[in-house]
Chains A and B, each alone.
Chain A
């Protein structure tokens, strides 16, 4: 079974700092990759996704993620964070043999100080 690791559990940044959140997965075959965001008191929303093609994926609100197959990674980045980016971020993976099932990482809580 696949697993997903998010090594940064808590991140605190000041506004305008750059952000990179790590995500590594364990499955060696074809994967579909997602980042979801959960703002305080809200439900999960899709930030971006990768199915195939260009490994650099751009999502909403200035976020992007890069799929590096050789490193089994799908790190999330943003050049300059804002206070409104304070949220919990979840990486999720669908392995090619897992039907519709998603495996989520443990999440990273980001706090952006104004």
Chain B
């Protein structure tokens, strides 16, 4: 039982390049999330998927797209990377049966992204 896994661990991009961050969970969770963590700002929600087949914008969605490939996997894509997207990206998941019930979110190890 690996929990939440993310790839890659580190990535350096040049401005304008694209890349996809991968996330997978093996806990049979319904809901998955992408956050970015910046110094002094805590974690900010980029996108989330309450259940397979649905995605919704979070607090800071601009410049990102997501795909809920199946129940296990939720990817985050940067189509044209910008230096402002330099950050640590965390994927999380929760059981999330009902939208009004907040379950504990479990986090992956993070991806450190540097955009030059």
Contact = CB atoms under 8 A, between A and B. Distances in A.
Interface of A: 4, 6, 9, 32, 34, 36, 42-46, 49, 51, 90, 92, 94, 96, 99-107
Interface residues of B, number: 28
Interface of B: 31, 33, 35, 40-45, 48, 50, 58-59, 90, 92, 94, 96, 99-100, 102-110
Contact of A100 (B43, B48, B59): B48
Contacts of B104: 34, 46, 49
Given A34-B104, A43-B107, A100-B99, 20 more contacts: A4-B42, A6-B42, A9-B40, A42-B109, A43-B110, A44-B92, A46-B104, A51-B102, A90-B42, A90-B43, A92-B43, A94-B102, A99-B50, A100-B31, A100-B33, A104-B43, A104-B44, A105-B42, A106-B41, A107-B42
A95 to B, nearest CB: 9
A53 to B, nearest CB: 15
Which 8 pairs, one residue from A and one from B, show the smallest C-beta to C-beta distance?
A104-B42, A94-B102, A44-B107, A32-B102, A99-B99, A104-B43, A106-B42, A43-B109
B91 to A, nearest CB: 10
A51 B35 CA distance: 22
B31 A43 contact: no
Counting chain A CB atoms within 10 Å of each CB, which of B35, B102, B108, B110 scores highest? B102
A46 B4 CA distance: 14
Nearest to A93: B102
14 contacts: A36-B107, A43-B110, A45-B107, A46-B106, A49-B104, A99-B50, A99-B99, A99-B100, A100-B94, A100-B96, A100-B103, A101-B58, A104-B35, A105-B42
